[in-house]
Amino acid sequence: MGEKPRRLTRQQQAVSDILDARGDFRSAQEWHAALKDDGSPVGLATVYRTLQSLADAGRIDVLRTAAGESLYRACSAGHHHHLVCRECGRTVEISAGEVERWAVATATAYGFTAVDHTVEIVGCCAPCSVRTPEGAREDA
């Protein structure tokens, strides 16, 4: 929904660049901090604006944490989903024609049009599984 910028500024470059450099998912606030550390400080508001237009343009991926924070990451073009480690954030891009087809077919079967979907898989990656032996989860 954000307007796409008509001018290319140092700030937009900086945001775009750092996303390409590092490859992981981070919140807008974290990217803002990372940019300051990198010596290319960009205002928080601008980080949000730029991240949004990049997302609108399909240049980066967005995903929401359970806590409601948005995470942004540079990613390959085209439609795909993610497998994310809930401990360390490690991410794997996955595509699944199988699921794509299922989504459309199911929606269509119920008379829905303009179908869109969300598919995310979260788990504990191998390295983290070792660090968190089996049932050492902190719930009941």
Partner DNA sequence: AGCGAACATGAGAATCATTCTCAATCAGCG
Partner DNA sequence: CGCTGATTGAGAATGATTCTCATGTTCGCT
Residues in touch with Zn ion (CB under 5 A): 85, 87-88, 90, 100, 125, 128
Strand partners, 19: none
- Min separation Cβ 24 and a second copy, Å: 16
Radius of gyration of the chain, Cα coordinates, nearest whole angstrom: 18
Kindly state whether residue 25 participates in binding DNA, applying the rule CB under 7 A.
no
Binding window for DNA (CB under 7 A); candidates: 23-31, 86-94, 105-113, 121-129: 23-31
Distance (Å, whole) CA 47 – CA 57 = 15
Kindly state whether residue 43 participates in binding DNA, applying the rule CB under 7 A.
yes
- Min separation Cβ 107 and DNA, Å: 25
Asked whether the beta carbons of 1 and 56 are under 8 A apart, the reply is yes
- Min separation Cβ 128 and Zn ion, Å: 3
Closest CA to 47 of 27, 77, 62: 27
Query: SS3 of 12, please?
Result: helix
Kindly state whether residue 66 participates in binding DNA, applying the rule CB under 7 A.
no
Distance (Å, whole) CA 26 – CA 78 = 20
* Interface contacts to DNA, rule CB under 7 A: 3, 5-12, 27-29, 41-46, 48-50, 52, 68-70
